[in-house]
């Protein structure tokens, strides 16, 4: 989504540009993630690109939260419409990028042995594009198919009558479980920690509805521009304690019945900041779970006890809790009965052996920095990006890093794109970066690098923004936590939590001040 828009902009500005794509077709997230149930959690009409009126006029979304196949069709439609495909080289796996400080160029090494050079190197490599597998004994010994959700095969997988294991209950696992519970023979879910999930309330979009959405696009995007998350849902400015109990319960009932992230991003503002407010809302959601899961012992296992609602990414679900009322669905709490190993025929826990035809790992990603760590970026004086970021990313505006001139991260750590409705966030960054490139070309600028002071100030600012939020304590990808990656068991300040409007304002000020904080030469 990000790279394609940047390509479009650069081509329009007459730049000499090529896109290197690891996959053998376009789509990024929507190319790789093909698991059943995969869909937007953003309202479809807030997720599409906003830059072309023609595109908005001709594209019909068929569901409020569009599924992966339609999303992939959308990306292909955009690529064909704007004739972008010929500028993309597929199957290019960038392994190394080395900066030459004398000639001001990057040399790129690809896995197939090819070498390319460029003046400006822009990354649009995704924030959730480095999937991680658990470190379990015997994983290679399993005789049936097993894969990470990110690598769900392109060829149809017949689940009918199959005994399926799903490990992981994050946003991905929750989508998958809800979608396949009634398709498989037996489904066994291996849950390490439960999540606070909320109903998505997806529905088809009728032709009349689409017409009214289309007529309303300007207002929809205006709304998205003005909320911290780039969604149509913005926080309610009241605090929980200010609102009489009956009124707030009625408000929460409405939120629970509202489609999308309203329940997370449209809640009272202190729910995500104050322990007491959060505990009260979490209790409300816990009761909802108890109301939906028939077996009370099972219901308690599905209610998080170690963190409150919304401090981790809220998985949006469709019939997720009801899946556990089915006789063919079984929950294994790994906390009680840990997985001991994967066997040739299934999974052995401390309690018993399970036999499976298929094992699916919905175990998440080395988020945000994982894709960067996968490339050996070598900057000035031979310094390496992955070494400099060992204890957490250091950036200026989430866009650039000291020691790595002319390297621009279009959806980098510590930028707002990661904490917002992604296309809304990246349109801001791409538009801004395109302005900077024009500025550079007009003035014959060949080298752009942030100052050490600007980077230190921004990184400290990002860290400070975490302090007011309960999410700072959660073990999730928002804090850079991943038990499957060595060294990622401590807090890293990955995302900018100041909200999209504030970020946009800051970018505008930086540009107005002649790109303050950047050294242009």
Tell which residue, 470, 444, 458, has the closest CA to residue 496.
458
Nearer to ligand NA7, 96 or 192 (CB): 192
Site string for ligand NA7, 283-322 (x = CB under 6 A): ------------------------------x---------
- Mark the segment that binds ligand NA7 (CB under 6 A) among 167-175, 198-206, 210-218, 262-270: 167-175
Shortest-Cβ-distance residue relative to ligand NA7: 170
Strand ranges in 119-266 using DSSP code E only, listed in sequence order: 121-123, 146-148, 163-167, 186-191, 198-199
Nearer to ligand NA7, 97 or 176 (CB): 176
Is residue 164 near ligand NA7 by the rule CB under 6 A? Answer: no
Tokens describing residue 393:
């990313």
Site string for ligand NA7, 469-508 (x = CB under 6 A): --------x-----xx------------------------
> Residue 363 CA to chain centroid, in angstroms?
14
Q: How far is the CB of 149 from ligand NA7 (least distance, A)?
A: 6
Q: How far is the CB of 484 from ligand NA7 (least distance, A)?
A: 5
Nearer to ligand NA7, 148 or 162 (CB): 148
Site residues for ligand NA7, 79-98, by CB under 6 A, read: none
Task: Give the whole-angstrom CA distance, residue 456 versus residue 11.
Answer: 34
Q: How far is the CB of 385 from ligand NA7 (least distance, A)?
A: 23
- Mark the segment that binds ligand NA7 (CB under 6 A) among 61-69, 163-171, 487-495, 505-513: 163-171
State the number of binding residues for ligand NA7 (CB under 6 A).
20
Site string for ligand NA7, 339-368 (x = CB under 6 A): -----------------------xxxx---
> Residue 440 CA to chain centroid, in angstroms?
31
Residue pair 103/446 in contact by the 8 Å Cβ criterion: no
Tell which residue, 82, 341, 133, 456, has the closest CA to residue 74.
82
Residue pair 180/37 in contact by the 8 Å Cβ criterion: yes
Q: How far is the CB of 437 from ligand NA7 (least distance, A)?
A: 29
Is residue 105 near ligand NA7 by the rule CB under 6 A? Answer: no
Is residue 173 near ligand NA7 by the rule CB under 6 A? Answer: yes
- Mark the segment that binds ligand NA7 (CB under 6 A) among 66-74, 89-97, 169-177, 404-412: 169-177
Is residue 334 near ligand NA7 by the rule CB under 6 A? Answer: yes
Among 97, 164, 167, 316, binds ligand NA7 (CB under 6 A): 167
Strands 105-110 and 94-100: antiparallel
Residue pair 273/303 in contact by the 8 Å Cβ criterion: no
Tell which residue, 304, 347, 373, has the closest CA to residue 127.
373
Dihedral pair phi/psi, residue 324, rounded to 5°: -75, -10
- Which residues are paired to 65 by β-bridges? none
Tokens describing residue 167:
């490990």
Strand ranges in 73-222 using DSSP code E only, listed in sequence order: 88-89, 94-100, 105-110, 115-118, 121-123, 146-148, 163-167, 186-191, 198-199
Site residues for ligand NA7, 124-143, by CB under 6 A, read: 128, 134
Q: How far is the CB of 132 from ligand NA7 (least distance, A)?
A: 7
Strands 376-378 and 94-100: parallel
Residue pair 32/248 in contact by the 8 Å Cβ criterion: no
Question: What spatial distance separates the first Cα and last Cα of the chain, rounded to whole Å?
Answer: 31
Task: Give the whole-angstrom CA distance, residue 120 versus residue 404.
Answer: 11
Site residues for ligand NA7, 183-222, by CB under 6 A, read: 192-193
Using the Cα atoms of residue 176, residue 290, residue 478 and residue 238 in order, give the sign of their dihedral: positive
- Mark the segment that binds ligand NA7 (CB under 6 A) among 12-20, 67-75, 171-179, 438-446: 171-179
Is residue 372 near ligand NA7 by the rule CB under 6 A? Answer: no
Q: How far is the CB of 521 from ligand NA7 (least distance, A)?
A: 38
Binding footprint of ligand NA7 on the chain (CB under 6 A): 128, 134, 167-173, 192-193, 313, 334, 362-365, 477, 483-484
């Amino acid at each position: 989504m990000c790279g394609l828009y940047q390509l479009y902009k650069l081509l329009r500005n007459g730049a000499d540009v090529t896109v290197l794509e690891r996959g053998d077709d376009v789509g990024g997230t929507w190319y790789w993630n093909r698991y059943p149930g995969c869909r937007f959690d953003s309202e479809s009409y807030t997720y599409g690109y906003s830059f072309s009126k023609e595109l908005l006029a001709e594209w019909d979304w068929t569901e409020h939260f569009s599924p992966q196949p339609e999303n992939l069709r959308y990306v292909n439609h955009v690529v064909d419409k704007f004739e972008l495909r010929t500028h993309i080289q597929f199957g290019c796996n960038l392994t190394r990028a080395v900066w030459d400080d004398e000639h001001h160029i990057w040399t790129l090494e690809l896995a197939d042995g090819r070498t390319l050079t460029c003046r400006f190197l822009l990354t649009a490599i995704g924030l959730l594009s480095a999937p991680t597998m658990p470190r379990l004994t015997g994983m290679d010994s399993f005789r049936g198919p097993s894969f990470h959700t990110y690598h769900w095969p392109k060829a149809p997988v017949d689940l009918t009558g199959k005994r399926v294991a799903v490990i992981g209950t994050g946003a991905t696992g929750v989508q998958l479980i809800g979608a396949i519970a009634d398709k498989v023979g037996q489904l066994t879910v291996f849950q390490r920690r439960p999540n606070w999930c909320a109903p998505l309330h997806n529905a088809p979009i009728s032709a009349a509805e689409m017409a009214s959405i289309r007529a309303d696009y300007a207002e929809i995007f205006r709304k998205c521009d003005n909320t911290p998350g780039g969604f149509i849902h913005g926080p309610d400015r009241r605090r929980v304690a200010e609102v009489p109990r009956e009124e707030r319960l009625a408000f929460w009932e409405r939120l629970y019945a509202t489609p999308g992230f309203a329940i997370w991003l449209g809640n009272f503002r202190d729910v995500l900041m104050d322990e007491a407010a959060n505990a009260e809302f979490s209790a409300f959601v816990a009761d909802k779970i108890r109301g939906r899961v028939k077996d009370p012992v099972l219901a308690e296992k599905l209610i998080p006890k170690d963190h409150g609602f919304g401090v981790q990414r809220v998985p949006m679900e469709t019939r997720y809790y009801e899946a556990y009322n089915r006789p063919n669905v079984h929950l294994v709490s790994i906390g009680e009965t840990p997985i001991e190993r994967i066997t040739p025929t299934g999974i052995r826990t401390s309690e018993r052996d399970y036999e499976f035809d298929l094992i699916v790992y919905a175990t998440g990603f080395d988020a945000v920095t994982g894709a960067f760590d996968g490339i050996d970026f070598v900057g000035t004086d031979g310094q390496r990006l992955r070494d400099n970021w060992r204890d957490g990313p250091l950036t200026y505006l989430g866009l650039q890093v000291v020691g790595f001139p002319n390297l621009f991260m279009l959806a980098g750590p510590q930028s707002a794109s990661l904490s917002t409705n992604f296309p809304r966030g990246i349109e801001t960054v791409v538009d801004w970066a395109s302005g900077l490139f024009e500025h550079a070309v007009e003035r014959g600028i060949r080298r752009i690098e942030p100052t050490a002071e600007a980077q230190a100030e921004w990184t400290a600012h990002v860290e400070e923004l975490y302090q007011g939020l309960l999410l700072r304590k959660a073990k999730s990808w928002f804090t850079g936590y991943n038990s499957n990656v060595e060294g990622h068991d401590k807090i890293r300040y990955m995302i900018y939590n100041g909200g999209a409007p504030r970020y946009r304002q800051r970018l505008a000020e930086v540009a107005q001040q002649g790109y303050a904080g950047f050294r242009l030469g």
